[in-house]
Chain A
Amino acid sequence: GENVEQHPSTLSVQEGDSAVIKCTYSDSASNYFPWYKQELGKGPQLIIDIRSNVGEKKDQRIAVTLNKTAKHFSLHITETQPEDSAVYFCAEALKTSYDKVIFGPGTSLSVIP
């Protein structure tokens, strides 16, 4: 079945440093990979996504890369700020009768001022 692994489970960085979260997926039919950020007391919110026909996508300080052959994808946050502290979920999605989204277990990122 579909499965998404995510590492590390916790990550602490100094403000201004970069943070990298890595994910591996199992279903080769997946072709959409969203990343969600969950701040304390809130529901997850989409921050960036990438489709299987693209290898890299960037939006200001965040970027995602996808290696479809290896079934790896990663989130890169540069120049981290305290407001980046949150739980981040990677996910793979399949187009079935609905948009089936399989979430990874999450990474708790702490940015230390």
Chain B
Amino acid sequence: DVKVTQSSRYLVKRTGEKVFLECVQDMDHENMFWYRQDPGLGLRLIYFSYDVKMKEKGDIPEGYSVSREKKERFSLILESASTNQTSMYLCASTNWTSGSYNEQFFGPGTRLTVL
């Protein structure tokens, strides 16, 4: 079974703190993604990575950065957490093939509250 794990299920931080969310996948997938999930807005892409040390901005990258030092690990960083970053954060991974689409495998999510 594909497994995507996230370091925390629940996290409470204070405004201005630096926050690290970690994601690890065990299927040797090239692509990894960070989404945030908010009621009524679905899943919105923050950043994705298609290879080690490679990253690209998604639709809502402001206030976030990412790091991919190893293929299996993709970290989301909030440099200075703000209350509007309170949300559910979902990590996903997938293979990439040129001729077809591939299923995205999601972690269980991290519910972050910024006070």
Interface residues of chain A, those whose CB is within 8 Å of chain B, are: 4, 6, 9, 32, 34, 36, 41-46, 49, 51, 89, 93, 95, 97-101, 103-106
Contact = CB atoms under 8 A, between A and B. Distances in A.
> For the complex, would chain B's binding face be called helix, strand, loop or mixed by DSSP majority?
strand
A15 B36 CA distance: 32
Nearest to B98: A95
Contact of B4 (A36, A43, A100, A104): A43
Contacts of A98: 31, 48, 50, 56, 96
B101 A43 contact: no
Contacts of A43: 4, 90, 92, 106-109
B42 A99 contact: no
A54 to B, nearest CB: 13
Given A43-B106, A97-B50, 13 more contacts: A4-B42, A42-B108, A43-B107, A44-B104, A89-B43, A95-B101, A98-B31, A98-B50, A99-B96, A99-B104, A101-B45, A103-B44, A106-B42
B106 A99 contact: no
Contacts of A49: 101, 103
